[in-house]
Amino acid sequence: AAIRRAEARGAIVGLNSDSGFSTLERRANQLSISGPIIAERGALVQPVRGAPLTPLIPETLRFLELRDRFLDALTIGQRSHQYVIVLGDVNALSNALPSIPPRVLHAPVAVLVNGVRTCSLAFYVRRRVDCEWVLDEAALDEVIAILEEAGPHCEPLWSARDILDRNPTYGICIVHHKNTQKTRAVGWILEHAGTRPVYMIGNSMSDDLKDACVIQCAVGNASPEYKARCLETGGFVAQ
């Protein structure tokens, strides 16, 4: 309802996120958002719904090659029986992973590779304990080591990666190009905004677009740091 009211006053509502485009597109459809979608930390832009996707850094398209080499490293040779590999839209699956099918009981570790990303790489890791998949930091590091073994075959992309976003709390690792940030899309947003003011609504410091032309807004459960930043720069904080 809030989005409809904003659009009725002439606002253009879009999404700017680290997530893959397909994930954001589904969310935009759920909310009937018709504005631009900026995905994978500024690597991909869809200026108008239905328009072709534009890679802001063409080199990031090589993440598909990195993903393929990573999958090969997980499935070839002695490792072929050590991992259950799932490739696809795995975000929801990671939160409700089912019991292991009998045919793959021999595999102690599951690697859920996000197949909807094209300009970054992300995967969840879980270890089998009895008939459940559980978070396991050692298993996550084990799989990250395999990625680091395969990565150098994708130069110069591998050298241009950012520091691996390793998050044992969620059992996930995400790799972006070092030149991608949500802030990268600021110029593009301002260029297409015309005379409209630009508002960035978020919950953490990664949503601080660091531009005086952008009005920063914090949702109610945003981090204290981001709320303070919004107030310092003349933005808004939801109650």
| Separation of alpha carbons 86 and 22, rounded Å | 17
pLDDT of residue 101: 66
Token digits for 26?
A: 């589904």
pLDDT at 103 over 70: no
- Taking residues 47-67, what's their average pLDDT? 89
Cα–Cα separations (whole angstroms), residue 126 to 18, 44, 86, 91, 219: 22, 29, 11, 13, 31
Mean pLDDT calculated for residue range 41-50 = 86
Name the pLDDT band for 224 (thresholds 50, 70, 90). very high
pLDDT value for 56: 84
Is residue 104 over pLDDT 70? no
What is the pLDDT at residue 182?
A: 77
Look at residue 137 in the predicted model and tell me its pLDDT: 96
pLDDT, averaged across the chain: 88
Would you say the C-alpha torsion 22, 26, 27, 33 has a positive or negative sign?
positive
pLDDT given at position 64 = 95
- pLDDT, tens digit (0-9, with 9 covering 90-100), for 75-91: 887 777 889 899 988 88
Q: Which two tokens stand for residue 70?
A: 């990573």
For 164-217, write each residue's pLDDT tens digit. Answer: 788 998 899 999 999 888 777 777 777 777 788 889 999 988 889 888 888 999
Query: In this predicted model, what pLDDT tens digit does every residue of 5-36 receive, in sequence order?
Result: 988 988 889 998 888 898 899 999 999 888 88
pLDDT value at residue 68: 96
115-171 tens-digit pLDDT: 989 999 999 999 988 878 899 999 999 999 999 999 999 999 999 998 778 899 889
Alpha carbons 215 and 155: distance in angstroms, whole number? 38
* Residue pointed to by tokens 């570790």: 109
Beta strands 54-55; 83-88: pairing state: unpaired
CB atoms within 10 A of CB 102: 8
